[in-house]
Chains A and B, each alone.
Chain A
Amino acid sequence: MKGNIIKYARDNIDTDVIIPGQYLKVHDYAELATHAMEGLDPDFHSKVKEGDFILSGKNFGCGSSREHAPIALSHSGVKAILALSFARIFYRNSVDGAFLLPIEIDQDAYDGISEGDEIDIDVSKNEIKNITKNQTYKMKPFSEIIGKIIAAGGLFKYKPDQD
């Protein structure tokens, strides 16, 4: 899966900046997308392109359980978040609702990947290729259940009884 990086070189990007609380009453996915990242980067909506990836630091998505957060990013065109770590509900919502891929990266990838770099994520090899810089990094493998839910296309398509 290929895409270009939008990099936020900071930790603790919280759900209040991903989609501010005043929009919690909005349930129209396209409208939510127009407010994605509004609390941190008012230009996000104009610069994000279909298929982009976000790169960030530790504890991405901390704060509330609002599914609006992965929805707003996913409907903006974001296909994956690469972060040093994720807050649990954001991670779970991203996977169970099949909105986007939460990819845990290491410090080498975080330091090595820059804004605008073209990246190729190969989940089957747990590998991230930086096409722009011709570098390769490891991604943390998904746990078994997460891998299965992603492969199924979300929690509702996953059949636990067949395990």
Chain B
Amino acid sequence: MNIVEKILSRASGKSSVAPDDVVFADVDKVMMHDVSGPGVLKVFDKLKKQGIAVDKLFDPTKVWVAEDHFVPSADKLSAENIVKLSNFTKNYGIEKHFKYGMGQYGICHTLSHEQAMVMPGDVYVGGDSHTNTTGALGAFAVGLGHTDIAYVLLNGNIWFKVPETYYFKLNGKLPDHVMAKDLILKIIGEIGNDGGAYRTMQFGGSGIDDMSVESRLTLCNMTTEAGAKNGIVEPDQKVVDYLSAKGATNLNLVNGDSDAEYSKIFEFESSEMEPMIAKPFSPDNTCVVGEAPSVELDKSYIGSCTGAKYEDLEAAAKVLKGRKVKIRTEVLPAAISIYQRAMENGLLKIFLDAGVTVGPPTCGACCGAHMGVLAKDEICISTTNRNFPGRMGHVESQTYLSSPMVAAASAVTGKITDPRDLK
């Protein structure tokens, strides 16, 4: 069995499972945020009216909650949602609630690794499509809707069809100025935005061995944009070191068997990658930066679970050091812990000296919520994950997706720019 089959067979109490089997898997961790939490509460209200008991969760210690989409509260409605969320966690005894303005908080997918909320081998479900991110720690990490999360909260398990696995063998270390974001855009461009639909996208090979845990998180994050059920990397010593440094103990690493089967194997030469972008209006509409259209950018946005981890900010700072931005540029660290390290290591000074606005952790404009949404006809280069029409604001705005280094280089020139071309 491969890693996903092994995790699902353990979680469903079966000696083995194979693709297309339907299992009810026990869930190890559940996550909600300020959009899915109130959504789940609506489902609870509906269930109550149907006479279904919703007064007790299966295990509040396995549930954790983030505030990320509309925080700090963007308006009255989002403020009310935060109050609802706080009452929810209080009433149900959920202690792991990361509240803004009270120390560590941030984007849910970032907290999943920054706070070591999810362990290798876990079945982890979250009320957000980019829950796939956390598969980089070796967990089966899957995004679900409100009804499914409500079901998990009350029953502790949920149905899955065991997915086929597409194995992506990545060869060699990424060149300088090329990031995991470039690689995943390249992959999505090749297989299309439903190229991984309903499947697991597993990453391995020397390109993964050489890659940091944070870069692997970027790869798994955007498996969602290929339609995948989940993304995963087999956990190695780097994952053990990463989680141990955050206080995790008794790690139980699950890996695939030596005769594990994959329904398809893809090979990518990561050592030959170049900086990439995805043009409007789809993450699979990709090209190398060298072939980017010559557009006048209005804005550069360095934020989100995809592109505002510490490593992402460090890469952007490397480009922006000693330079000035020519267009509006925002940096929104994805969690307070990252913000703090950025301060301690001088990154914030580099950003501010360059003229960048540094904002608080939030999903913000990535999903068109607040904190710099786009006007009609505005064009943005962004380290985020999607560029569908209206994704970051007005339906006639445009978003180009890129790595933090390309977004930073483009901020300096006002045009889509290869960081290697900056003088």
Contact = CB atoms under 8 A, between A and B. Distances in A.
- Indicate, yes or no, whether A interacts with B: yes
Interface of A: 12, 14, 16-17, 20-22, 24-27, 29, 39-40, 58-59, 62-68, 70, 85, 87-89, 92-93, 96-97, 143-145, 154-156, 160
Nearest to A24: B35
B227 A88 contact: yes
Nearest to B131: A65
Nearest to B363: A21
Contacts of B388: 14, 16-17, 39, 63
B112 interface: no
Given A20-B390, A22-B368, A156-B50, A87 B197 contact: yes
A108 B146 CA distance: 34
B39 A68 contact: yes
Nearest to B229: A88
CB-CB nearest 4 A-B residue pairs? A93-B145, A21-B368, A21-B367, A97-B147
Given A12-B193, A26-B77, A85-B197, A67 B39 contact: yes
B148 A93 contact: yes
B144 A24 contact: no
B151 interface: yes
Contacts of A70: 145
A21 B369 contact: yes
Given A20-B368, A25-B81, A40-B389, A87 B147 contact: no
Contacts of B145: 65-67, 70, 89, 92-93, 96-97
A63 B369 contact: no
A26 B76 CA distance: 11
30 contacts: A16-B368, A16-B388, A20-B368, A21-B368, A24-B35, A24-B69, A25-B34, A25-B78, A25-B369, A39-B389, A59-B193, A59-B197, A62-B193, A64-B129, A65-B128, A67-B39, A67-B145, A68-B39, A85-B197, A89-B129, A92-B145, A92-B148, A93-B146, A96-B145, A96-B151, A97-B146, A145-B22, A154-B147, A155-B147, A155-B159
B386 interface: yes
A146 B374 CA distance: 39
Given A16-B388, A26-B77, A65 B127 contact: yes
A118 to B, nearest CB: 30
Given A39-B389, A62-B194, A93-B148, 10 more contacts: A16-B390, A17-B388, A24-B69, A29-B42, A64-B129, A87-B227, A89-B145, A96-B147, A145-B159, A145-B161
Contact of A93 (B147, B161, B227, B390): B147
B47 interface: yes
B144 to A, nearest CB: 6
B52 interface: yes
Contacts of B193: 12, 59, 62
B227 to A, nearest CB: 6
A56 to B, nearest CB: 13
A103 B291 CA distance: 40
B147 A21 contact: no
A59 B227 CA distance: 8
A65 B38 CA distance: 14
Contacts of A154: 147
Q: Which residue of B42, B144, B227 has the most chain A CB atoms within 10 A of its CB atom?
A: B227
Contacts of B242: none
Contacts, number: 131
A89 B143 contact: yes
Contacts of A156: 47, 50, 52, 147, 151
A14 B193 CA distance: 11
B369 A24 contact: yes
A87 B192 CA distance: 13
B24 A160 contact: yes
A93 B145 CA distance: 6
B398 interface: no
Contacts of B146: 67, 93, 97
Given A85-B194, A85-B197, A144 B22 contact: yes
A67 B147 contact: yes
Contacts of B41: 27
Nearest to A14: B388
B133 to A, nearest CB: 13
Contacts of A143: 22, 161
B391 interface: yes
Contact of A65 (B22, B75, B144, B391): B144
A58 B151 contact: no
A14 B22 CA distance: 27
Interface in B275-295: 282
A63 B129 contact: yes
A160 B155 CA distance: 12
Contacts of B144: 65, 89, 92
A103 to B, nearest CB: 17
Nearest to B76: A25
A73 to B, nearest CB: 13
Contacts of A145: 22, 159, 161
A88 B35 contact: no
A62 B358 CA distance: 31
B281 to A, nearest CB: 9
Contacts of A16: 367-368, 386, 388-391
B376 to A, nearest CB: 13
